[in-house]
Amino acid sequence: SQQGEEDPQALSIQEGENATMNCSYKTSINNLQWYRQNSGRGLVHLILIRSNEREKHSGRLRVTLDTSKKSSSLLITASRAADTASYFCATDALSSGNTGKLIFGQGTTLQVKP
C-alpha cells in the first residue's frame, strides 16, 4: 500500500543551487513528513507539515502542502555538498488512526557537486 510517489527519482545540481523534490500521495492524511537518508544509514527526520498547514520553513528547508492536489514539495535552498543524500516523503494517513504507521515514497536521490 505504498502511497507516496516522488519525483524526480534523481537530481544532480551544483553547490549553491536550489533543489526541489515533489511528492504525491493518494489518501487523506494527518500530516506529511520529510526524511533524509545518507547512504547505508538510517533515516533522519527533517520536517513535518500538518494537513491544515500550507507551508513550513526550517533553516534552508521549505515545505509546501496542497491537500487538494494531494502533493507536497521540499525545497532546499543554497545547497551544499553535505546535502547529498536520499530524501523521502512519508504520510501519516487519517485511516491509520494514532498508530504512527508512516507510508514512505520511493525517494529522491540528490547529488550536490562541489
Q: Please, what is the minimum distance in Å from the beta carbon of residue 16 to another protein?
A: 27
Of 71 and 106, nearer to another protein (C-beta) is 106
Sole binder of another protein in the list 28, 44, 80, 94 (CB under 8 A): 44
Fill in the per-residue mask, 79 to 98: x = in contact with another protein (CB under 8 A), - = not in contact.
---------x-x-x-----x
Query: Contact with another protein (CB under 8 A): which of 12, 28, 45, 58?
Result: 45
**Strand pairing partners for 75?**
20, 62
What lies within 8 Å, CB to CB, of 105 at 6+ separation is 2, 4, 5, 6, 23, 25, 88, 89, 90
Residue 61 as a binder of another protein (CB under 8 A): the answer is: no
Return the SS3 of 95.
helix
Taking phi over 0 as left and psi of -120 to 50 as alpha, with beta for the rest, 54 belongs to alpha
Q: Is 52 in the site for another protein (CB under 8 A)?
A: no
